[in-house]
Each structure stands twice: as C-alpha cells, then as structure tokens.
C-alpha cells in the first residue's frame, strides 16, 4: 500500500530535528496526520540555538504526503502537554502512534567525566529532559491512545538493551538516561499489552543528524568526506532510516509480538525489508560490536 497509515494520527514529541524529524517525515510519507512538537519555532529558539524548527518539520511531513501540524510544546511543563493532547483529542478524536523522542542533552553531558566531576546542574537537567519529559508525555497521551485498540508507543533511545546492559555509555548521566528510556518501554509494555496497545524501545545507529553533520563539517551530500578523520562513520545512517522503522512497526498488524522489547533500525530493516535513502541497509549495532569495539579497521562489508 502506498499510504498504509492513511487515517492514522501520530504524535512525535521532540521532532524539531534528527531522529524525530526523520520519523515524522516517514510517518507522513505513509499517509499519517502527524503532530510535531518541540521548543524551537520560527519565532523562538531553544537553548540549542539551532536553525531547525518544528514548522519546517511539519512542512516536510506535508510535502511527503501526510499532514504535518506543528505545536510548540515544552514537555517538561505538564500543562502544555495536557493542552497538546486535548487539542489532538478535539481535532482528531484519536491517537494511534506516540513517539517519545525528546532529548535535548547534547550540550549538557561532559564526555568521560565521572559523576563527581560532572557539572551537577547540567547532569540533572539532562535527566529531566531525557526521562521526565517522556513520563509526562506518556501520562497525558496514553488515555487517548488507548481509546482504540492497536496503539503503538515508541520510546527512542541510544543503544539496545543488550548493548547498553554490557557497556558503559559516555558517563553516569548519559548512561542512566538512555538506560531509563529502555526500561520505560519494558514497563509500558506490561501496562499497555493487556489493554490492546504495544510499547517498544527503538534506537537508530550512528545518526547523520543535522548536528552530527555540522560537527564533522560535512553535508548529507558529501558526508563521506568525514571518513578520513572518522573511519567508522561509514556505518552511519540518515534520520529517515529510523523513521522507516517506526512506519513499518505502525503498519504491522502483528506488532504486538515486539511488545516491551528493545529494537534497532538495522534489526528492523532485516525484519521488514526497508532500506535507507541510498538503498543500503546499515546494521550499526552489530557493526559496533563486531568491528569497532573489536578494534578492527573500518569496513562495512556485510554490515550495510
């Protein structure tokens, strides 16, 4: 089907850029009405101080074939989230897909800093943005999602449960935040499953987000120029790849088989047969274990 999600309503919380934008656009390409939220608008920037806006994301959703609706929302403010969900209920009467992609921590965590060395205010702010926002959003959105059977909740994180269970991720605060989101999906799976809905955790691989491309001084059309400095960046993927993973899950009538589990874009590409925009199928988390962490030279043969 060219529009398998036509008539479906999605909320992508944290859709200004990166994975959230890629997910929103792919849901739109599948025909969904997509509410996109964030704190950066054409009138006001968040502390990220970047040019991407939620209005831009909504326009991309509409251009892809869906209907994009931008709603400025600070997901740390329960009143704003409640108003957002009330608006969706009034305008659509349903919510079929909730994607919790709120993060906002790139400028807050300090690489390889021990807990007692890390700026405490920044660390606690990171936890609030990465964990508390997800809980607030789910608290207000899930009653609407449960009005109809078959709802899907996607908790976006960094790392699979298997990988994060055995690996220390960056520092105390980052490790705790990403592991907490994995556990949220597990807990929500127990609460939603008996009520006819599904919750999963989902991680992209090495994401070629706007911020990552800027960091390496490249664009999407010449990203391979960064490989001389960062060879393992060869396994990276566009934000649309994880978007296609979410769309495949949302269109799967048997998605409940994944309830409460941890998934990756690369793993779901094998399951459903979709590809990234360039036709490749990167499997970053398998590559990370078998090549990068193993100390082998960068070689994506058999991994994309």
Alpha carbon distance 12, 264 (integer Å): 18
b/e map 268-294, b = 16+ CB within 10 Å = bbeeeebebeeebbbbbbbbbeebbee
What sign results for the dihedral spanned by CA atoms 74, 78, 83, 84?
Answer: positive
R_g over Cα of the chain: 18
163 in active site: no
Alpha carbon distance 8, 94 (integer Å): 8
Catalytic annotation, pick one of 163, 174, 287, 303: 174
Alpha carbon distance 139, 13 (integer Å): 13
SS3 20: helix
DSSP letter at 291?
A: I
SS3 6: coil
Q: Which residues are catalytic?
A: 174
């Amino acid at each position: 089907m060219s529009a398998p999600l036509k008539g479906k309503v999605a909320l992508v919380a944290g859709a200004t850029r990166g994975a959230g934008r890629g997910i929103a656009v792919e849901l739109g390409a599948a025909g969904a009405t997509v509410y996109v939220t964030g704190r950066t608008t054409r009138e006001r920037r968040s502390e990220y101080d970047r040019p991407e806006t939620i209005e831009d994301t909504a326009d991309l959703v509409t251009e892809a074939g869906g209907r994009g609706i931008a709603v400025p929302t600070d997901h740390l403010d329960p009143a704003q989230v409640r108003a957002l969900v009330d608006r969706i209920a009034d305008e659509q009467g349903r919510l079929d897909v909730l994607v919790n992609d709120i993060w906002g921590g790139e400028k807050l965590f300090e690489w390889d800093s021990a807990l007692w060395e890390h700026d405490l205010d920044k660390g606690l702010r990171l936890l609030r943005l990465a964990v508390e926002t997800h809980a607030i959003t789910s608290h207000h959105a899930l009653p609407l999602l449960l009005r109809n059977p078959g709802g899907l909740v996607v908790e976006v994180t960094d790392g699979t449960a298997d990988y994060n269970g055995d690996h220390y991720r960056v520092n105390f605060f980052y490790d705790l935040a990403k592991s907490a989101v994995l556990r949220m999906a597990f807990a929500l799976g127990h609460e939603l499953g008996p009520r006819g809905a599904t919750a999963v955790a989902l991680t992209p691989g090495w994401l070629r987000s706007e911020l990552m491309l800027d960091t390496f001084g490249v664009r999407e059309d010449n990203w391979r120029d960064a490989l001389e400095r960062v060879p393992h960046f060869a396994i990276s993927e566009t934000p649309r790849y994880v978007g296609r993973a979410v769309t495949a899950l949302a269109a799967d009538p048997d998605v409940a088989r994944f309830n409460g589990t941890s998934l990756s874009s690369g793993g779901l590409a094998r399951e459903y047969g979709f590809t990234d925009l360039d036709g490749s199928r990167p499997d970053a988390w398998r590559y990370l274990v078998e090549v990068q962490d193993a100390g082998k030279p960068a070689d994506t043969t058999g991994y994309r």
